[in-house]
Structure 1
Amino acid sequence: MSEKTATEPAAAARGRRPGGWRGLVLRLHFYAGVLVGPFVLVAALTGVLYAVTPQLESWLYSDELTATSTAEPLPLAEQVRAAQAAVPGGDLHAVRPAPERGDTTRVLFADDALGSSEWRTVFVDPGTGEVTGDLTTYGTSGVLPLRMTLDQLHRNLLLGEPGRLYSELAASWLWVVALGGLVLWVTRRRATRPNRTPRARTLARHGTLGAWLLVGALFLSATGLTWSTYAGANVADLRAALSWSTPSLETGTAEHAGHGAPPGDTGGGGDPAAAVDRVLAVARSAGIDAGRVELEPPAEPGGTWSVTEIDRGWPTQVDAVAVDAGTGGVVDEVRFADYPLAAKLARWGIDAHMGVLFGWPNQVLLAALGLGLATLVVLGYRLWWQRRPTRATGLAFGPAIPRGQWRRVPPAALACGAVVVALVGWFAPLLGLSLVAFLLVDLALGRRAARRARG
């Protein structure tokens, strides 16, 4: 064998080794994909289930949601009293009048046995005052038990507050993996010729699909972090510091608002139900015109009612007013038109993440995005499996990207990158801590390999 022939494979191998930033990005993308991929896969699939079940929920709970009477609606006060009779001594939390004919009115009660943002909800036929059901609902969107379970599965795997770490970890790394994949896809397309091996075809599909899903992945990551425990707190602090927070409705006592309502008066002689019709009429005259609204009685004696638009299907119907039931005056108001731009974007982003913005088209897009992300994860693991040694049998995977890729990056660029990583890790703590954990594990594995080589 000639010297030229012997050195050709080594030269070809050196030519294929990633250099500079690409090698470092490739190593990070590989480790993040392998270790965080399962979290992204679970989040994507549970998100798809949540997005596609509203219609199933409407069918499953049709008895509670559907009003069979064709008579003119009773006064809202009578509907509330019918619900109160079904929950003796219940603590009235809010009232959601039937948005249109054929729907039932929801009367929400606080219950110490339920979790945060969960309410015992009694459904009332507006035409007859008959109670059609009694279920637990969750959040402003008022999801019913099926979607409530899927929501908690997506959020925390039904493990409570500790389980939220999984979804925050997925959201924290999703944008990193997505942008890293874009860099690798672009540089590979420029640097290589088409290759028709099975692994090359898988790699091409993985990269192309990732490029198509990039914007959606970044969107899910950003909106998911706003709900997270640690990064979400930093997002809230940043928005507050920049005056980007959503304006809050002032619902102090009527006396403090200058109306002089007697303490304990709710506009109904101490009976909140007696005031709901008047409060709703005042709110309607003040421009609260959405079909879906929520009336919340005063939180303390002498306080004001809040009436809020809750139709998340339209991006502007979130206005709210505070009503003094005793005098019929509007004490305060918050209009969506007056929101800071960042608050508007946050509202739209959250609603789109939940699949409720503009109805079923949002559901279809979310489902497609979730299935696409799940496919990306599966293709990524397939790529790893296809890199296994040629003679490997059974469940064998390919080797990791070689260590030491950071040495190929110019020192000044590496230092700047380290500063950026430190800042991002501080803002998204789970990202920073998990990255440190990756580095420590990698260092330990490297030392073990070195000791074996010396032995």
Structure 2
Amino acid sequence: MSPTPLAPATGRSSDEGSPAGTGGSLWSGLRPLVLRLHFYAGVLVAPFLLVAAVTGLLYAGSLQAEKIVYRHELSVPAGDRELPISQQVAAARKAHPEGEISAVRPSPEDGATTRVLLSGVKGVDPDHTLAVFVDPYTGEVRGALEQYGSTGALPLRTWIDELHRDLHLGEVGRLYSELAASWLWLITLGGVLLWLGHRRGRRTLRSVARPDRTATGRRRTMSLHGAVGLWAALGLLFLSATGLTWSTYAGANITDLRAALGQTTPAVSATVGAGGEHAGHHMGSGSMPGMDMGGTEGGARHSADVGLDAVLKAARAEGLDNPVEIVPPAEPGSGYVVSQIQRSWPEKQDSVAIDPATGEVTDVQRFADYPVLAKLSRWGIDLHTGVLFGPVNQIALAALALGLILLIVWGYRMWWQRGRASAFGRPVPPGAWRRVPPYALVPLAATVAVAGYYLPLLGIPLAAFLVLDPLLARLPAVSRRVSGRR
């Protein structure tokens, strides 16, 4: 939630109070700091949150828009029998001999096309692939589009995704989204505490969670801001937590922490035969120059290769039903990797490695065996991107993004309604920390220190606030002393 109104220089603020279940002395000590921090963070970080919310709203609708815009490439009339995968790949290579085959995604359902993914294609972003769409019933090539990411995002969704993630500014632009995600949870929690303190006299949840219809002016705006913020709080906390997993600095810290806890996402080993030094091949990274994956000779192929159809048959025998992605051997000594790629519920993320010479399964990795944090990370990311529960997920994300936009607009309106005389409110009074009981101050300080370490774009500005804001309280007294001397 964004800016909460502050009181004039004298008197109590309009949201004075103690949240239910907190002692008056504890809250009276914490409240000035929470209120001031919520205000500053709301005013300064809200523009970044507004951009994230608007672009997130666009992204929530992009998954359905993609199906409409690229309907010709994605869908075909359902036929009676599909061609062997090797023939479909051969048709794709005949139309697009450029680049290298990095993966194949067989048609996942009736009426859907097969995707043959090519890497190293001139004019295609190195981090992207060229997806060639093939009719699985006739072998007709329906078109080719640039594709990004494990969800198979096509140009429209990719453009919106990059706008949301980094404003099309690359690594520099990612700092905006990390700053927004780092502060969103703190602004939200602060806003919830302030609202519960303001509504502490209400006896029912319904009375706390709905706006005051009798209020007018700034109080009405604050009532809308607080009630909607309370409803949206859990969703905003979720977006903050999952958004940080993609960030530059905080994301790296989270990855390191998961590794230290033994909670990284496992990957099937594609090492086969004598290629032991290549253990640890990761899904999706392989390609083989000149390979047609159909069982015939290719440029850098193994001397014996059972072919794509036999590989897919072996994966099916291990229970890997649609949708799947097949990645060719990365180099001699490695095998095919077949992975399930369903991100909707229930998720299908099993994977197997297959020896290209024999067609035998050499390694199996089941999603059921993932560590707990790896599963939670997978579910959280897919829920954040709107694919876990399909259209229902996307509608919920759109509603949450719209709610955040309204919270920011109401927050700035409250700021405007306060007038120029108290536009920046009063700083935290000197000695405010001394009013906080030690039993609360010590864990609070430890929490702030840990959060600041793992979230540097939260920690650095927060440290600056804690140092500079109390100094502002001393400026009037210093100014009076200077004026008196004159």
Offset of 1:203 from its aligned partner? 1.0
Q: Post-superposition shift, 1:447?
A: 6.5
Contact 2:56 2:164 survives alignment (8 Å): yes
Aligned equivalent of 1:216? 235
- Would the aligned equivalents of 2:181 and 2:243 in 1 still touch at CA under 8 Å? yes
Sort the Cα spacing of 1:398 and 1:320 in 2 relative to 1 into closer, same or farther, 3 A.
Answer: same
SS in structure 2 at match of 1:316: coil
Aligned position for 2:152: 142
Matches of 1:73 and 1:426, distance apart in 2: 55
Instruction: Output the amino acid matched with 1:87.
Output: H
**1:33 matches 2:64:** no
Asked if structure 2 preserves the Cα contact closer than 8 Å seen for 1:254 and 1:304, the reply is: no
Give the aligned partner of residue 336 of structure 2.
305
Q: Tell me if 1:239 matches 2:263.
A: no
Structure 2 residue aligned with 1:435: 462
Residues 14 and 198 in structure 2, CA contact (< 8 A), matched pair in contact too = no
Is the counterpart of residue 110 in structure 1 residue 136 in structure 2?
no
The DSSP-based 3-state class of the residue aligned with 1:227 is coil
- Indicate conservation of the 8 Å contact 1:310/1:317, yes or no: yes
Counterpart CA distance in 1 for 2:418 and 2:126 is: 47
Question: Corresponding residue for 1:227?
Answer: 246
- Identical aligned residues as a percent: 51
SS of residue matched to 2:34: helix
Question: Matches of 1:380 and 1:11 in 2, distance apart?
Answer: 20
1:314/1:132 Cα in 2 relative to 1: closer, same or farther (>3 Å)? Answer: same
Higher relative contact order (CA 8 A, sep 6+): 2
- Deviation at 1:240? 1.1
Mark the CA change 1:426 to 1:407 in structure 2 (over 3 Å): closer, same or farther: closer
Separation of aligned partners in 2, 1:88 and 1:315: 37
Superposition TM-score, scaled by structure 2 size: 0.83
Would you say the 8 A contact 1:77–1:274 is kept in 2?
no
Q: Distance in 2 between matches of 1:365 and 1:308?
A: 29
- What's the CA shift for 1:81? 1.2
Structural mapping, 1:237-316, within 5 Å = 237-256=256-275, 268=295, 270-271=297-298, 275-289=307-321, 291-316=322-347
Amino acid at match of 1:286: E
Cα distance, 1:428–1:12 mapped onto 2, change above 3 Å: closer
C-alpha distance 274-153 of structure 1, shift in aligned 2 (>3 A): farther
Partner residue in 2 for 1:158? 168
Change in Cα spacing, 1:249 to 1:116, as seen in structure 2 (3 Å) is farther
Residues 414, 269 of structure 1: alpha-carbon distance in 2 compared, 3 angstrom cutoff = same
Q: For residues 12 and 119 of structure 1, what CA distance do their matches in structure 2 show?
A: 62
SS of alignment partner, residue 236 of structure 2: helix
Q: Which residue of 2 aligns with 1:417?
A: 444
| Deviation for aligned residue 1:432 | 0.6
Per the TM alignment, residue 268 of structure 1 is displaced from its structure 2 partner at its CA by 3.1
Q: Name the CA distance, whole Å, in 2 between partners of 1:81 and 1:15.
A: 72
Cα-to-partner distance string for 1:342-387 (whole Å, 9 max, x where unaligned):
2111111110000001211111111111111111111111111111
Aligned to 1:49: 58
> Do the aligned residues in 1 keep the contact of 2:50 with 2:405 (CA within 8 Å)?
yes
Contact 1:74 1:127 in 2 (8 A): yes
* 1:45-93 alpha-carbon deviations (Å, 9 max, x no partner): 1111111122211111111112247352211111111111222242110
Q: Extract unaligned runs of 5+ from structure 1.
A: 1-9
For 2:329 and 2:156, the matched residues in 1 are separated by 30
Q: Which residue type is aligned with residue 232 of structure 1?
A: G
Provide the secondary structure at the position in 2 that maps to 1:423: helix
Corresponding residue of 2:11:
13
Q: Does 1:402 align with 2:421?
A: no
TM-score (norm. length: structure 1) = 0.88
* Conserved 8 A contact 2:387-2:393: yes
Alignment partners' CA distance in 2, 1:444 and 1:114 = 53
User: How many angstroms apart in 2 are the aligned matches of 1:327 and 1:401?
Assistant: 75
Letter in 2 for 1:229: T
Task: Show the counterpart of 2:380.
Answer: 349
Count of matched residue positions in the alignment of Structure 1 and Structure 2: 435
Structure 2: gaps (5+ residues): 1-7, 17-27, 203-207, 278-287
Give the AA of the match of 1:102.
G
CA distance in 1, matches of 2:470, 2:125: 43
Alpha-carbon offset, residue 275 of structure 1? 1.3
Whole-angstrom distance in 1 between the partners of 2:201 and 2:110:
63
Q: 1:206 corresponds to which residue?
A: 225
Give the whole-Å Cα distance in 2 for the aligned partners of 1:208 and 1:369.
14
Secondary structure of 1:365's match?
helix
Distance 1:114 1:287 in 2: 34
SS at match of 1:222: helix
Q: 1:4 maps to what in 2?
A: none
Give the conservation status (yes or no) of the 8 Å contact 1:29–1:180: yes
In the alignment, does 2:104 pair up with 1:95? yes
> In the aligned structure 2, how far is the partner of 1:283 from the partner of 1:399?
63
1:85 matches 2:94: yes
Match of 2:410 in 1: 379
Which residue of the partner structure matches residue 130 of structure 1? 140
SS where residue 213 of structure 1 aligns? helix
Alpha carbons of 1:47 and 1:239: their partners in 2 closer, same or farther (altered >3 Å)?
Answer: same
Structure 1, residues 313-368: CA drift from partner, whole Å, max 9, x if none? 12331110011121111111110111112211111111000000121111111111
